[in-house]
Every structure is written in C-alpha cells, then in structure tokens.
Structure 1
Amino acid sequence: MIKIVIVDDEQLAIQELTYILSKVSYVEIIGSFTDSKKALQFVLMEEADVVFLDINMPVLNGIQFTDQLRQYGIRTQVIFATAYDDYAIKAFDQNALDYILKPYEPERIYRSLLKVKRNIAPENPIELEKAKYNMTKYPVWRGDKMLLVDIDDILYCEVENNTVTLHTSLDVFELKDCLADLEEQLPSDKFFRTHRSYLVNLSKIIEVSPYFNNTLIIRLEKCKSEIPVSRKYLKHFKSVLNIK
C-alpha cells in the first residue's frame, strides 16, 4: 500500500485529487493539508511514501517544503502538482519524482503512481516479464468475493468517467485499478493499448475497419462494441498485426 499525503492551499484541488486517487486500490491517503507548515510537521513524523505537493503556496512554498525534507533526511518522494509550468526545472533540481500540471488528468496521475511503485519496490524486469507471460488468471472483486477471471476470456478493458471496467463475453467487472496498471500487469504479448481509454486482447480481434482521420475501428469476437484505434497507437498497432 502506497501512503500518500496531499498538500495544496486550495481545498477544491485536494478534493479533486483525493477523488482520483480513491479509484486506485493500492493507495492510502494518510493526510491532506492546506497549511504547508502543518503538513511538513506531519510528514516528518509519519512514514509517507509520497507527497503530492503544490508549489505556489503561502508561508512555505513547495520548493522550501522539499528543501526541509532533504535537510531532515526524509526519503519521502515528492510529486509536484501545480497550475504553473515555469517551476519544472526547479522541481527536478529538488529530485522530484514527477511534475503534474492542473487541471488533473486521471491517467497522468496514474502514470505517476506507477513511478512511485517502481521506486518503492523495484522489480527484476526479466522475472516480472516471465510472471506476466505465465499468467492464466486475473483477480477481480465483486462485493466481498474475489473472482479469478481467465486471461483468455478477457475481451477488453475500458475507462469511462474515471471508472475502469473489464469485459468478458459473459460479464463486466468494475475495477479499482487504473488502465495504466492493467496495461503493466497483463501479458504484453496478448494485450494492446489501442486508445487512451481501451486495452484490447489481440487474440479476440476479428475485424479491422478504416475510420475517420486515418484511424481504425476494430471488432472483437462475441462482442457488440466497436473499439477505436487512435492515431497515437496506430503505427504500432499495424506493426503488431502486420497490417500494410
């Protein structure tokens, strides 16, 4: 579990970030503060893994806050979350893990959390890939029960309105994981990100059709939904399927 502290002098920004983070199963928000000095005292006492930290705050700004952490030898990682892009160089001079601009985009937040996970518990990439390729089941929760879904039964995963769903031909499961997590966890030889909102089981594709703006639409077996392939992923998608 990743322990998180949020520091921002705007309560609405804290609420927005709290809502986005609440969708992630492996994080715990252990504190949130509009007062950066109180936040610093809290972080010095508690073992937070990461602080989401605004830069432009009264009394103690984000750069000063980070300086204080370093002076005390605190290893808590810092992700700057701010409306200003002109502090980026200073932020990375402070060894910030990431720099996120407001308004928040959930997928951007989730990518930052993956960085935190890698820093907290770095994996052996070879062993990790072996484990992924040997996966046969994916755990999902329904109420208080954990169900194990066959990897080969998964058609696609989708994110809509900050909610991630996993689709089989017979059922739909709502997940707490983000789409970026699923992309990392599921075997990369079987699942492909076709769009910022879709992760598709390649073996289930039965039809590929042209769409507007030189993009594509795909259909999957036993599935009525049409899945887009956005321009960002188009070249790689064609390469994987050997489409000329």
Structure 2
Amino acid sequence: MKFPVTRDPVHDLDLILLDVEEVLYMEVEERTVVFHTAKEKFYLLDTLSELAKRMGQLGFQKLDRINLVNLNKVTDFDEKTSKVYFNDEQGNRAKSTTVSYANRALMAEHMRLVRNTASGTRNL
C-alpha cells in the first residue's frame, strides 16, 4: 500500500508515494499524520485542498469543493448541468462530476482549447 505524502506539509509541492513497507511508525503533529522512516519523515496529504496544491502540475484541477479532476481525462462538459464527463473504453459517458458556478467559464475555455488542439485549429 502507498500513501500520498510530502516532505514539508506547507512548502513542498512534490508529491511522493510512500510505500507502507518503509514506515517505522506514524504519529500526529499539529493535526497531521506523520510517517517516520529510517532516515526521513513524511506528511500525509489527507485533504483535497492539500492534494490540489501538489497535483496541479499533473493536470488536476479543483472544479468544485467536493472534487479534484484530472483535466486530461475529461471528455465532455455540459454547461447546462454544470458537469464534466469521462468516457469508458466504448466511448460512453461512464462517470461524471460537478463543476461549481465559479469554475464554469474555466471549464468551458479548457474544453474549447482541447477541441481546437484536436482539430488542429487555433481560434483566439
């Protein structure tokens, strides 16, 4: 089993997957779970906001207070229902999640750029 951790709970943007086999013990520091290995200590990323800070460079965006979405996997955005969709292997809308009102314009622009890139055109 692996846990998403970082070396510094505030300033380190690097996400590390720590294997439980390396862990000597766990403790709590200032309401954060800390994993201790033989040489280092790592801080558990246990909130969506903390994960969002570190996973943005991988294409993840917080689109609503309840989700963190891999924009590289979004296949469609319905502005009427304010939902993004992910297709399965057959091209069917398999799953969806919500987009907050504040992020609707961001998502619409993202989908416009994706479609323009896919068609080989640039509409500015």
Give TM-score scaled by structure 2 length: 0.49
More helix by share: 1
Give TM-score scaled by structure 1 length: 0.27
Higher relative contact order (Cα pairs below 8 Å, separated by 6+ residues): 2
Structure exhibiting the larger radius of gyration computed from Cα positions? 1
